[in-house]
A and B are shown apart, each in its own frame.
Chain A
Amino acid sequence: MSEPVSIVTPPQGGVGWQDVTTAHAPLRPGRIVLWLVVLLVAANFIWICARNENFGWPVVGAYFFNPDVLRGLGFSLFLTVIGMVLGTFIGLLLAVARLSDDRLAKAVAGIYIWFFRGTPLLVQLIFWYNMSTLFPQLSLSIPFGPALMSWDTNSVITPLTAAIFGLALNEAAYMAEIIRAGLMSVDRGQAETASAFGMTRRRALWRIVIPQAMRSIVPPTGNQLINMVKATSLVSVIAMSDLLYAVQSIYNRTFEIVPMLLVAVLWYLVITTVLNIAQGYIERYYARGDRRSEAATPAQSPAGIGDNA
């Protein structure tokens, strides 16, 4: 660019200077050794596991695509998706209620979250499953008044609905807090600007606030989703044939406990990996307004300043 201005010339003729683009990364032998050690240990561990006959790898291979296992896997995924979708939707309503000025909505949402976060999911699932022993009849009625409609509890709460209710309502409490944090992370000026331009609160929420809140909502939601994949294994206690239940019923027959659990573990890892990759793409999408460096090329900025007369 410009001439080297040698203000401080080293006394003995000096070495002068070199452009930093010619610089090399320092050679760090310690790092290379560390890499080799870690790789060696890892390879050795894999080798030990692979050769260990107690793991029953041939059995793992034989049952990996077993129809019962795949059916259980499909059901686990189904529960995950429906639980997460319902949970997120209810969670959004709860979050908006908690942030509203309406004291009734605030209180109801607060108590909901307090209760569903404060009790174990396992207990909630068992309660839903055994609803009929607590309330044999479900009825729609005027409070303290006569019933308008009523149903036999056992016809409404099947193991499937108990599982869905249990997972979704519990998830909603956690998602509510995640979404609330996300909404609060958006600059207040954004909602105010939307309102100044005549947007209704609902439209401002969908068009302006939520898209910006997504940046801080997505990472913890990824956590929740992965938790949910594994939480579906709890429904095996209420006799729903999810992935874990499927491998359990096989090893109850064959006594190959470790290999069958490995089948389940590997499948859970596969799902989680896919979800992680998807999360990366979603995060990149919602970070799109943040790419500062790309388009701000110097070639364009003078044009903008020049013609504003």
Chain B
Amino acid sequence: MTAPRSISAAPLVEAHGVHKSFGDLHVLKGIDLNVAPGEVVVILGPSGSGKSTFLRCINNLESIDRGAVLVAGEQMGYRVHDGRLIKLSPDAAARQRRNIGMVFQQFNLYPHMTVLQNIIEAPIGIHGVPRAEATAYAHELLRRVGLTQKADAYPRQLSGGQQQRVAIARALAIRPQLMLFDEPTSALDPELVGEVLATMRDLARQGLTMIVVTHEIGFAKEAADRVIFMDGGHIVEQGPPGEILVNPQHPRTQAFLARFI
């Protein structure tokens, strides 16, 4: 399984035999995945297949029970000391994910801050970017997501689609090396989905490394370098969208895609 773009560099994301349980519920049953820099990976699968959980394991928002996840060569949630693996403190774990942007299903904008404040919070507070520079970049990002006039609005004054585009701008503001999208359009009214997907397609074209969990087959078809189909905590099938979406081999994939055609 090679990425269609000929990228020779070491993988940006590596998952090795990742297992995760919530109590008795075994959600991830051994996930292996490499994502190359610049690659756009779309993860599809029915509800409960573990795809969102896996995404949250990549930046260690969920800890894993077995296996390992590495981003940019660093093992997420752990450090190695004298050859021994030692669990990071919550603050150190947070620091480890400061270069990973994340977009949530429920947007999760900070409601007490304006759009501009939402965007410059992490660059100023965590990355030490000077305020003037962070503000200028925030305005540029707002222009890119088509919300130039909303800098001083509060999140609740925006539509869902606008909020999600602000959330994307907020994640881009940290100049991430990796972007994670957790069902970014699932909480949106159907007529607002398009504007968010358009923004995401732009990012994909610009060579940002993206892992997207979604139900939007159309987005996968147009923007993905590779489509991963998950079911029951396993990766069932993966490959370029032209193959997976057009000519799926696995019966579970076929059954899933049949519902969208």
Contact = CB atoms under 8 A, between A and B. Distances in A.
A241 to B, nearest CB: 43
A304 B147 contact: yes
Nearest to B176: A197
A78 to B, nearest CB: 32
Given A189-B104, A301-B159, A304-B162, A291 B154 contact: yes
B173 to A, nearest CB: 9
Given A197-B122, A203-B125, A308-B199, A289 B155 contact: yes
Contact of B198 (A196, A286, A292, A308): A308
A105 to B, nearest CB: 14
A294 B157 contact: yes
B8 interface: no
B126 A295 contact: no
Contacts of B94: 195, 198-201
A300 interface: yes
Contact of B165 (A196, A211, A294, A308): A308
A292 B59 contact: no
Contact of B61 (A192, A208, A303, A305): A192
A289 B111 contact: yes
A190 interface: yes
Interface string B77-121: 000000000000011001111111010101010111100000001
A294 to B, nearest CB: 7
A199 B125 CA distance: 8
Contacts of A309: 198
A24 interface: no
Contacts of A301: 159
A117 B104 CA distance: 41
B136 interface: no
B150 A300 contact: yes
B59 A196 contact: yes
Interface size class of A (residues with CB under 8 A): 35 or more
A202 B61 CA distance: 17
A interface secondary structure, majority: helix
B156 interface: yes
B174 interface: yes
Nearest to B145: A308
A197 B100 CA distance: 7
Nearest to B146: A308
Given A189-B106, A193-B104, A295-B157, A198 B61 contact: no
B126 A195 contact: no
Interface string A179-201: 00000000101101101111111
B63 to A, nearest CB: 13
B95 A198 contact: yes
B140 interface: no
A299 to B, nearest CB: 10
A80 B15 CA distance: 57
Interface string A205-238: 0011001100000000000000000000000000
Contact of B195 (A198, A291, A300, A305): A305
A296 interface: yes
B6 interface: no
A307 interface: yes
B149 A303 contact: yes
A201 B90 CA distance: 8
A303 B146 CA distance: 8
10 A-B pairs with least C-beta separation? A198-B98, A308-B146, A193-B108, A200-B91, A289-B111, A296-B157, A197-B122, A289-B112, A307-B146, A289-B154
24 contacts: A189-B108, A190-B110, A192-B108, A196-B102, A197-B97, A197-B122, A198-B98, A198-B99, A199-B126, A200-B94, A201-B91, A207-B125, A286-B112, A288-B112, A289-B111, A289-B155, A290-B111, A290-B154, A292-B156, A296-B158, A305-B146, A308-B195, A308-B198, A309-B198
Interface of A: 187, 189-190, 192-193, 195-203, 207-208, 211-212, 286, 288-292, 294-296, 300-301, 303-309
